[in-house]
């Protein structure tokens, strides 16, 4: 029960959705509920803005885009009949494709049935599928899921090792909204090469989820991929889990995507309220604002007491930090906004950083996630002590930590769900998507662009361009040791540090044909590749 008022607690208990949110411990003990509610009312314009977004307003002014992830779970809301048709068609396409794969009518090149899925994507094109896959996996999964979510060759090898001799039964899903993300492009090329090494045609094992006309879309079509699935410009990467980006992998894994969509739609009805007092997402955004002063001065620690939800913090980290972490506000003023998110799971983390949360610097607030049901009803229950189960301990640890934090004047909020099923996961996704939108509006930043991500892509490309110039410079004087400054000079770069980092990396990887000598670096051997 709330330490402030029972009414406040009851207002955020949704029996029909099996969800309850307790924000009472965000506020200092003794705070006056009337004051709290008064400050919450300042979120009215932000709730109204969410309604405008659902109606098709341009909510991403930089990119001139609508923000329509709400339409994905209720296509009737789409502001244009063509969008509704596209959403419903994509849903049917996903279900029909997954059914055909499970039935074996869409089959691998050498016959049999697909048994593995290799998802190739990054950021919003991977984190949702990773979270959902881990949260809902069971022994009854129809396919085993693997990820290339980076351009780390060793990570790629590790995923391929997990697939092992199952490559001939692997379906690759290349996911990229823009269709031009380097990490994903590299992952796709690495996967295609791995298939080729097994004598397999990647295209006969691959589908793409991407925007119409993107480089990936063109590649998929020209190479004859099994299928392509749409991604629209009005769905942001980090809010794309309930588009084909998340639904296709989930349906193939055998998860209940209808229940996930239903859960999200149900939560959307609860957060589609102009009155913040009746809107759980507004309460959540308000709680963040109260805890951080609306400036990010405290971090959000996400502590689900449920192993299945371990990736929730990573998923939220992107959703929140990529949406909220902005240099400029909507008026172009420098605001350096943010809300840092981290966490793993309880009680595991009680044996790690929770020590600092309880006793150390007060620069955070905790979001506890409580899942009432311990384990599947068909599972045997063990009493680890007379009358006490492992799950009772988990619950006890949650309550104990929550109370200890409150007693030590550390704010927290608690979100309770009945069980960790597809419906609850859909609700959690919808709740946080809306809360992020409301919070961003309240602090006046554009939640739907990511200029920092784009800048990072450009910076990496500049390094690759420098590497190519460095390599050319060394190749032109093959066998000759050149000092760093000479190499930089020949490569047209005065950035000695960047030149050194490129060379150091090249020299550490045999096969690059570059060696480090006493006086500098040299290209060795008769040809760059064979050296
Ligand atoms: O949320 C976002 O917009 C980003 O994290 C993108 O998802 C990420 O950069 C990958 O982009 P894309 O899907 O275009 O490959």
Residue 203 has pLDDT above 50, yes or no: yes
pLDDT, tens digit (0-9, with 9 covering 90-100), for 164-201: 999 999 999 999 999 999 999 999 999 999 999 999 99
Residue 467 lies in a domain: yes
Report the percent of the chain where pLDDT is more than 90: 89
Q: In what order do the strands lie in the sheet with 412-417?
A: 13-14, 19-22, 412-417, 364-371, 299-304, 341-342
3-state secondary structure of 168: helix
- Cis before residue 347, ω within 30 degrees of 0? yes
- In this structure, the answer to whether residues 310 and 434 fall within a common structural domain is yes
Is residue 129 in contact with ligand 1, taking CB distance under 6 Å? no
Ligand 1 centroid to Cα of residue 186, in Å, is: 15
DSSP-assigned letters across all residues of 64-98: TEE--GGGGS-GGG-SSHHHHHHHHHHHHHHHHHH
Beta-carbon count within 10 A of 113 CB: 16
Q: Is 64 part of a structural domain of the chain?
A: no
At 172 the three-state DSSP class reads: strand
Q: Is the CB of 449 under 6 A from ligand 1?
A: no
**Could you tell me the two tokens for 58?**
């341009």
- Scan for tokens 């979120």, then name that residue: 43
Q: 313 and 201 in one domain?
A: no
Considering 449, 483, 509, which residue would you say is the last residue of a domain? 449
Contact 276, 47 (CB under 8 A): yes
State the Rg of the chain over Cα.
Answer: 26
- Residue that is last in its domain, among 255, 279, 313: 255
Tokens of 404: 């200890």
The reply to whether 271 and 355 lie within a common domain is yes
Percent of the chain clearing pLDDT 70 (strictly above) = 97
Pocket lining: 453 vs ligand 1, CB cutoff 6 Å? yes
How open is the CA angle 57-241-414, to the nearest 5 degrees?
A: 95
Residue 528 domain-assigned (yes or no):
no
End residue of a domain, out of 389, 417, 449: 449
> Are 336 and 294 contained in the same domain?
yes
Per-residue pLDDT band at 13 (split at 50, 70, 90): confident
Residue 177, ligand 1, Cβ within 6 A: yes
Closest Cα partner for 368 from 352, 356, 380, 357? 357
DSSP E strand stretches across 164-210: 170-176, 206-210
pLDDT of res. 497: 95
Asked if the structure places residue 531 within a domain, the reply is no
CA 149–ligand 1 middle distance (angstroms): 11
Within-domain flag for 495: yes
Q: Where are the alpha helices (DSSP H) in 141-181?
A: 153-163
Residue 299 in domain? yes
What is the C-alpha separation between 346 and 367, in angstroms, rounded? 11
In terms of phi and psi (left: phi > 0; alpha: psi -120 to 50; beta: otherwise), the region of 69 is: alpha
State if residue 238 touches ligand 1 by the CB under 6 angstroms criterion. yes
Taking residue 484's Cβ as centre, other Cβ atoms within 10 Å add up to 15
DSSP 360-377: S---EEEEEEEES--S-T
How far is ligand 1, taken at its centre, from the CA of residue 329, in Å?
Answer: 21
Residue 60 beta carbon below 6 angstroms from any ligand 1 atom: no
Q: Indicate whether 104 and 181 sit together in one domain.
A: yes
Q: Residue 454 has what pLDDT?
A: 83
Please state whether beta strands 383-385 and 412-417 pair in parallel, antiparallel, or not at all (unpaired). Answer: unpaired
Same domain, 26 and 103: no
Give the model's confidence band at 4: pLDDT under 50 very low, under 70 low, under 90 confident, else very high.
low
Helix (H) or strand (E) holding 454: helix 451-476
450 ligand 1 Cβ < 6 A? yes
Contact of 58 with 64, CB cutoff 8 Å: yes
d(CA 492, CA 269): 59
Alpha-carbon distance 274 to 283, whole Å?
Answer: 12
Rounded Cα distance between 127 and 241, Å, is: 9
Residue 378 parent element (H or E): none
The residue annotated as part of the active site, out of 310, 322, 370, 486, is: 322
What ligand 1 atom has the least distance to the C-alpha of 124? 7
**Residue nearest atom 3 of ligand 1, based on CA coordinates:** 237
303 with 391, same domain: the answer is yes
Q: In this structure, are 103 and 241 located in the same domain?
A: yes
Please report the pLDDT score of residue 7 as a whole number. Answer: 58
* Catalytic residue flag (residue 218): no
Distance CA 380, CA 160 (A): 35
pTM, rounded to two decimals:
0.95
Cβ(473) – ligand 1 distance below 6 Å: no
Question: Is residue 314 over pLDDT 80?
Answer: yes
Using the mean position of ligand 1's atoms as its centre, give its distance from the Cα of residue 240 in Å.
Answer: 10
For residues 100 and 159, membership in a common domain is answered with yes
Ligand 1 centroid–CA 466 distance in Å is: 25
Q: Residue written as tokens 């309930």?
A: 242
- Asked about 322 being catalytic, the answer comes back as yes
Would 245 be classed as within a structural domain?
yes
User: Are 441 and 470 within one domain?
Assistant: no
- On the question of pLDDT at 527 being above 50, the answer is no
Q: What is the CATH number of the domain that holds 511?
A: 1.10.10
457 and 313 within one domain: no
Query: To test ligand 1's pocket by mutation, which of 181, 234, 249 has the most ligand atoms within 8 angstroms of CB?
Result: 181
Residues 265 and 434: their CA atoms lie apart, in Å, by: 12
* Chain Cα centroid distance, residue 95: 23
Q: What pLDDT was estimated at residue 10?
A: 61
Decide whether any atom of ligand 1 lies within 6 Å of the 236 Cβ: yes
* pLDDT value of position 1: 44
pLDDT tens digit string along 382-436?
A: 999 999 999 999 999 999 999 999 999 999 999 999 999 999 999 999 999 999 9
Collapsed DSSP state (helix, strand, coil) of residue 491: coil
Residue 28 DSSP symbol: P
Question: Catalytic: 370?
Answer: no
444 and 457 in one domain? no
Residue among 122, 220, 455 whose CB has most ligand 1 atoms within 8 A, to mutate:
122
In the block, tokens 């006890």 appear at 396
Read off the CATH number of the domain in which 404 is found: 3.40.50.10490
Closest atom of ligand 1 to CA, residue 126: 7
Distance 121 CA to ligand 1 centre (A): 8
List the beta bridge partners of residue 383.
Answer: 389
pLDDT tens digits for range 224-265: 999 999 999 999 999 999 999 999 999 999 999 999 999 999
- Please tell me the distance between residue 428's alpha carbon and the centre of ligand 1 in angstroms: 21
Q: What is the pLDDT of residues 281-311, one digit of tens each?
A: 999 999 999 999 999 999 999 999 999 999 9
Judged against a pLDDT cut of 70, whether residue 156 lies above it is answered with: yes
Picking from 422, 430, 136, the residue whose alpha carbon sits closest to that of residue 266 is: 430
Report how many domains make up the chain. 3
For 489, the domain range is: 452-523
Q: For residue 8, what pLDDT is reported?
A: 59
Q: What is the pLDDT, as a whole number, of residue 531?
A: 33
Three-class SS state of 339: coil
Best mutation site among 60, 120, 147, 178 for ligand 1, i.e. most ligand atoms within 8 A of its Cβ? 178
Quote the distance between the C-alpha of residue 186 and its chain's center.
Answer: 19
Instruction: Tell me whether residue 441 is in a domain.
Output: yes
């Amino acid at each position: 029960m709330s330490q402030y008022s029972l009414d406040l607690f009851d207002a955020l208990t949704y029996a029909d959705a099996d969800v309850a949110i307790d924000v009472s411990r965000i506020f200092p003990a003794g705070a006056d509920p009337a004051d709290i509610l008064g400050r919450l009312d300042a979120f009215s314009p932000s709730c109204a803005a969410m309604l405008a977004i659902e109606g098709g307003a341009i909510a991403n002014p930089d990119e001139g885009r609508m923000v329509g992830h709400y339409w994905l779970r209720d296509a009737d809301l789409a502001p244009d009949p063509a969008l509704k048709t596209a959403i419903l068609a994509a849903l049917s396409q996903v279900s029909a494709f997954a059914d055909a794969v499970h039935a074996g009518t869409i089959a691998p090149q050498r016959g049999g049935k697909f048994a593995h899925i290799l998802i190739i994507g990054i950021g919003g094109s991977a984190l949702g599928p990773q979270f959902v896959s881990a949260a809902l996996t069971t022994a009854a999964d129809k396919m085993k899921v693997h990820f290339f979510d980076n351009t780390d060759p060793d990570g790629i090898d590790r995923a391929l090792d997990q697939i092992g001799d199952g490559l001939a039964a692997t379906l690759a899903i290349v996911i990229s909204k823009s269709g031009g993300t380097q990490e994903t492009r590299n992952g796709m090329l690495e996967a295609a090469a791995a298939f080729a090494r097994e004598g397999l045609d990647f295209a006969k094992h691959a589908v793409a989820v991407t925007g119409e006309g993107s480089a990936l879309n063109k590649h998929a079509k020209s190479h004859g991929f099994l299928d392509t699935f749409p991604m629209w410009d009005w769905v942001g990467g980090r809010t794309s889990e309930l588009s084909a980006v998340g639904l296709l992998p989930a349906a193939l894994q055998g998860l209940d995507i209808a229940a996930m969509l239903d859960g999200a739609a149900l939560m959307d009805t609860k957060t589609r309220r102009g009155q913040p007092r009746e809107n759980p997402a507004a309460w959540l955004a308000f709680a963040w604002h109260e805890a951080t002063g609306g400036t990010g001065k405290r971090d959000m620690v996400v502590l689900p007491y449920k192993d299945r939800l371990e990736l929730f913090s990573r998923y939220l980290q992107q959703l929140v930090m990529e949406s909220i972490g902005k240099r400029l506000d909507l008026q172009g003023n420098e605001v350096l906004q943010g809300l840092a998110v981290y966490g793993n799971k309880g009680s595991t983390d009680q044996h790690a950083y929770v020590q600092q949360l309880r006793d150390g610097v007060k620069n955070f607030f905790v979001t506890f996630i409580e899942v009432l049901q311990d384990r599947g009803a068909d599972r045997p229950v063990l009493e680890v002590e007379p009358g006490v189960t492992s799950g009772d301990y988990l619950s006890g640890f949650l309550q104990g930590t929550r109370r200890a934090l409150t007693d030590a004047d550390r704010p927290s909020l608690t979100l309770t769900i009945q069980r960790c099923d597809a419906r609850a996961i859909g609700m959690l996704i919808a709740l946080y998507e809306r809360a992020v939108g409301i919070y961003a509006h309240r602090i006046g930043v554009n939640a739907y662009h990511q200029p920092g991500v784009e800048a990072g892509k450009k910076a990496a490309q500049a390094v690759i361009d420098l590497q190519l110039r460095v390599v050319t410079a060394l190749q032109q004087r093959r066998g000759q040791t050149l000092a760093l400054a000479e190499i930089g000079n020949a490569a047209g770069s005065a950035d000695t540090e960047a030149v050194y980092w490129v060379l150091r990396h090249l020299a550490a990887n045999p096969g690059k044909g570059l060696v480090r000598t006493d006086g500098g670096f040299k290209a060795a051997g008769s040809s760059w590749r064979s050296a």
